[in-house]
């Protein structure tokens, strides 16, 4: 039984670690010819290239970080507040239905529908346009995530705080946000990851002028530039891995 | 009269919940309202607290009509059946909560909270978080948190409903004692006959949104609708 469990864990570990190890070797290899199992020689050349002036990877990394951070910081607090109003609204069924709309249509088709307005507003090919387009997906996602959070008990806490003399801001900062810490953390992580890995919508609205790391990876793969594709993929998975680690630490700390 | 509730009416989706509810209550007194679940007790309390708007009628506290005053400015605290202690705060901070909202000086807060903790018999539990407390202790903290802000009116919505019989009795007595010490004016709604009699100075009975107020305890006991007579008969025939 122990052997089966160990074997299964080993397999799982291998499945998770092997692609990362493989990309690491690919990114730092100088020559790797068939049928060699590992590269014949390694070099930091590709890695150091990131920091050279005009590096596409560094630019993509900065754009990705900027877009993901702004999208997360706008979408989560806004959805947290709006979802409370939606939950208390008599027409909440229809409002929730609206929140599902971008997902029923698929984000890219939704972007295609909105493209006309983006062109009209001169937002195509701009970082602001991409942020706005991603918000159209991430904001309703958070509304859906938060809507069930506003149950009778949390509303009772809110009412109780009011009767104890708390104004709306005090109610949010002293009660609702601390009580919603777990779901807020999940929302922040998920929103960051959705934005971080977003490709279709960013490509559509960015029209090749807003280069994020995800777009770079696809470009390098298309160009058959395996070293840069591997390196940018590695950089692409670093923030999610860090957040996964951070999330686990915070969650365990809470328990 | 300190509290005047005049002709309160409330309807939810075409269904009348409160019909012309009126009563008066003097300062430092407790009105017990007995009623079954769904008779409109909670709606009445929420209207008085400012958490719901009445369709008609007025709420007057100390000769001031408070209908248009928002809940956090009314100085009326609502205590739920659940103690609803803030899970992220310890006992001390839960009790200090209302004082911190009022941005009082830390030294004053410390003094008042320590006094309240002693009155509630919670000395030694200050640093505990709510999950480390028993049901009775949680409800004590909940009372302390409400009373420490010296509300003009305290509303209690079946506050002992979740406690076992023994704890419930001790909590009822403690509440009476604390009410007297702090000169609290309160309105308690309950479906528990014994609790209504034990807690109140004045008595009311609510059924299907209609409220009847009794001039004294004897009238309340003798009214067949309240169920006191049936209860007496039950114990006599046992």
Q: pLDDT by residue (tens digit) across A161-203? A: 999 999 999 999 999 999 999 999 999 999 999 999 988 888 8
Q: Find the mean pLDDT for residues B162-177.
A: 83
At A178, list the tokens: 């601390």
Per the CB < 8 Å rule, is B97 touching A164? Answer: yes
Q: What band does B58 get if pLDDT is binned at 50, 70 and 90?
A: very high
Q: Does the structure show a pLDDT above 80 at A57?
A: yes
CATH number of residue B158's parent domain: 3.40.50.300
**CB within 8 Å of A244: residues ≥ 6 apart:** none
Q: Does the structure show a pLDDT above 90 at B145?
A: yes
Distance CA B163, CA B145 (A): 19
Per the CB < 8 Å rule, is B49 touching A174? Answer: no
Q: State pLDDT tens for residues A141-165.
A: 999 999 999 999 999 999 999 999 9
Q: Lowest mean pLDDT of A33-42, A91-100, B38-47, name the range.
A: A33-42
Nearest to B76 among A156, A163, A166 (CB): A163
- Give the position of tokens 């020559």: A31
Q: What band does B54 get if pLDDT is binned at 50, 70 and 90?
A: very high
Contacts of B88 in chain A (CB under 8 A): 178-179, 181
Judged on CB neighbours under 10 Å (0-12, 13-18, 19+), A54 is: exposed
Contact A60, A212 (CB under 8 A): yes
- Structurally, chain B folds into a number of domains equal to 1
**CB within 8 Å of A108: residues ≥ 6 apart:** A200, A201, A204
Q: For the sheet containing B3-12, what is the strand order?
A: B15-25, B3-12, B56-61, B64-65
Helix (H, G, I), strand (E, B) or coil at B213: strand
What pLDDT is stored for residue A251 in this prediction? Answer: 66
What pLDDT is stored for residue A43 in this prediction? Answer: 80
Q: State pLDDT tens for residues B193-237.
A: 888 998 889 999 999 999 999 988 888 888 888 888 888 888 888
**CB within 8 Å of A189: residues ≥ 6 apart:** A243, A247
Nearest to A163 among B49, B88, B100 (CB): B49
> Alpha carbon B12 to chain centroid distance?
23
Q: Does the structure show a pLDDT above 60 at A53?
A: no
Distance CA B40, CA B26 (A): 23
Q: What band does A252 get if pLDDT is binned at 50, 70 and 90?
A: low
What pLDDT is stored for residue A162 in this prediction? Answer: 95
Distance CA B53, CA B198 (A): 31
Nearest to B78 among A160, A166, A170 (CB): A160
Distance CA B186, CA B172 (A): 13
Residues of chain A that touch chain B, judged by Cβ-Cβ distance less than 8 Å: 153, 156-157, 159-167, 170, 174-175, 178-179, 181
Cβ-defined contacts of A185-190 (< 8 Å, 24+): A185/A247, A185/A250, A185/A251, A186/A145, A187/A76, A187/A79, A187/A80, A187/A142, A187/A145, A187/A146, A188/A72, A188/A76, A189/A243, A189/A247, A190/A141, A190/A145
**Mutation site, A90, A158, A162, A164, interface B, largest B CB count within 10 A:** A164
What pLDDT is stored for residue A42 in this prediction? Answer: 81
Cα within 13 Å of Cα(A187), Cβ side: 28
A24's enclosing H/E stretch is helix A2-27
Contact A183, A142 (CB under 8 A): no
Q: How many CB atoms lie within 10 A of CB A126?
A: 17
Nearest to A157 among B73, B84, B98 (CB): B84
Residues of chain B that touch chain A, judged by Cβ-Cβ distance less than 8 Å: 46, 49-51, 70-78, 80, 82, 84, 86-88, 97-98, 100-102, 145-146, 149, 155
**By C-alpha distance, which of B156, B223, B213, B225 is closest to B190?**
B156
Q: How far is B148 from chain A (nearest CA, A)?
A: 10
Q: Report yes or no for ipTM above 0.85.
A: yes
Contacts of A164 in chain B (CB under 8 A): 72, 77, 97-98, 101, 145-146, 149
What pLDDT is stored for residue A24 in this prediction? Answer: 85
What pLDDT is stored for residue A8 in this prediction? Answer: 86
pTM to 2 decimals? 0.83
DSSP B38: T
Nearest to B98 among A159, A165, A181 (CB): A165
Q: What band does B109 get if pLDDT is binned at 50, 70 and 90?
A: very high
| Interface A:B, Cβ pairs < 8 A | 61
- Give the position of tokens 């007790």: B41
Q: How far is A178 from chain B (nearest CA, A)?
A: 7
- Residue that wins the pLDDT comparison between B197 and A37: B197
Distance CA A182, CA A173 (A): 15
What pLDDT is stored for residue B49 in this prediction? Answer: 95
What pLDDT is stored for residue B78 in this prediction? Answer: 95
Q: Find the mean pLDDT for residues A108-117.
A: 83
Q: How far is A251 from chain B (nearest CA, A)?
A: 15
Q: Find the mean pLDDT for residues B36-60.
A: 93
**Mutation site, A153, A155, A160, interface B, largest B CB count within 10 A:** A160
Q: Does the structure show a pLDDT above 90 at B135?
A: no
Q: Lowest mean pLDDT of A75-89, A131-145, B208-222, name the range.
A: B208-222
Domain that holds residue B88: 3-237
Q: Does the structure show a pLDDT above 80 at A48?
A: no
**By C-alpha distance, which of A220, A217, A214, A221 is closest to A200?**
A214
DSSP B226: G
DSSP B79: E
Average pLDDT value over all residues in chain A? 87
**By C-alpha distance, which of A186, A179, A184 is closest to A155?**
A179
**By C-alpha distance, which of B62, B46, B141 is closest to B98?**
B141
What pLDDT is stored for residue A216 in this prediction? Answer: 86
User: Quick one: closest CA in B to A173, which residue?
Assistant: B101
Q: Find the mean pLDDT for residues B63-88.
A: 93
- Give the position of tokens 């806490």: A157
At B104, list the tokens: 């009082």
**By C-alpha distance, which of B44, B174, B211, B161 is closest to B220?**
B211
Q: State pLDDT tens for residues A203-224.
A: 888 888 888 989 888 888 888 8
Q: Percent of chain B at pLDDT above 70?
A: 100
Q: Does the structure show a pLDDT above 60 at B32?
A: yes
Q: Lowest mean pLDDT of A61-75, A166-180, A230-244, B8-22, name the range.
A: A230-244
What pLDDT is stored for residue B97 in this prediction? Answer: 96
**Mutation site, B13, B53, B86, interface A, largest A CB count within 10 A:** B86
Per the CB < 8 Å rule, is A178 touching B50? Answer: no
Q: Does the structure show a pLDDT above 70 at A255?
A: no
What pLDDT is stored for residue A227 in this prediction? Answer: 82
Q: What band does B180 get if pLDDT is binned at 50, 70 and 90?
A: confident
DSSP B200: -
**By C-alpha distance, which of B175, B229, B213 is closest to B33?**
B213
What pLDDT is stored for residue A254 in this prediction? Answer: 58
Average pLDDT value over all residues in chain B? 91
**By C-alpha distance, which of B202, B194, B117, B129 is closest to B160?**
B194
CA atoms B200, B205, B208, B210: torsion sign: negative
């Amino acid at each position: 039984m122990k052997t089966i469990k160990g074997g299964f864990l080993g397999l799982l570990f291998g499945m998770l670690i092997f692609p990362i190890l493989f990309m690491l070797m690919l990114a730092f290899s100088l020559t790797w010819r068939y049928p060699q199992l590992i590269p014949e020689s390694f070099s930091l050349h590709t890695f150091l290239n990131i920091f050279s002036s005009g590096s596409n990877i560094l630019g993509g990394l900065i754009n990705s970080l900027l877009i993901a951070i702004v999208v997360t910081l706008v979408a989560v607090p806004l959805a947290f507040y709006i979802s409370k109003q939606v939950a208390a609204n008599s027409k909440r069924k229809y409002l929730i239905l609206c929140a599902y709309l971008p997902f029923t249509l698929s984000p890219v088709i939704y972007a295609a529908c909105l493209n006309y307005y983006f062109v009209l507003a001169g937002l195509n090919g701009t970082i602001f346009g991409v942020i706005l387009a991603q918000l159209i997906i991430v904001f309703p996602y958070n509304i859906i995530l938060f809507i069930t959070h506003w149950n009778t008990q949390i509303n009772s806490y809110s009412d109780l705080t009011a009767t104890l003399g708390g104004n709306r801001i005090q109610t949010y900062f002293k009660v609702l946000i601390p009580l919603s810490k777990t779901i807020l953390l999940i929302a922040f992580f998920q929103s960051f990851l959705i934005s971080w890995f977003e490709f279709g919508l960013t490509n559509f609205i960015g029209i090749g002028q807003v280069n994020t790391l995800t777009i770079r990876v696809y470009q390098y793969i298309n160009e058959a530039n395996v070293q840069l594709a591997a390196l940018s993929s590695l950089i692409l998975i670093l923030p999610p891995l860090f957040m996964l680690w951070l999330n686990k630490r915070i969650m365990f700390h809470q328990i | 009269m300190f509290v005047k509730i005049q002709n309160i009416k409330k309807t939810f989706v075409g269904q009348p919940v409160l019909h012309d509810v009126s009563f008066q209550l003097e300062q430092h007194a407790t009105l017990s309202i007995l009623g079954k679940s769904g008779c409109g007790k909670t709606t009445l309390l929420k209207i008085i607290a400012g958490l719901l708007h009445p369709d008609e009628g007025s709420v007057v506290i100390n000769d001031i009509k408070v209908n248009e005053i928002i809940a956090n400015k009314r100085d009326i605290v609502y205590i739920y059946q659940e103690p609803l202690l803030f899970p992220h705060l310890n006992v001390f901070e839960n009790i200090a909560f209302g004082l911190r909202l009022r941005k009082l000086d830390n030294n004053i807060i410390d003094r008042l909270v320590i006094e309240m903790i002693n009155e509630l018999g919670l000395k030694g539990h200050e640093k505990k978080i709510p999950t480390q407390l028993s049901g009775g202790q949680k409800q004590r903290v909940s009372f302390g948190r409400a009373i420490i802000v010296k509300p003009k009116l305290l509303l209690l919505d079946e506050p002992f409903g979740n406690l076992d019989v023994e704890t419930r009795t001790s909590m009822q007595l403690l509440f009476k004692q604390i009410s007297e010490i702090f000169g609290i004016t309160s309105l308690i709604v309950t479906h528990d006959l014994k609790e209504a009699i034990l807690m109140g100075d004045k008595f009311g009975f609510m059924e299907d949104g209609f409220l009847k107020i009794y001039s004294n305890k004897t009238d309340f006991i003798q009214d067949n609708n309240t169920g006191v007579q049936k209860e007496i008969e039950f114990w006599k025939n046992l």
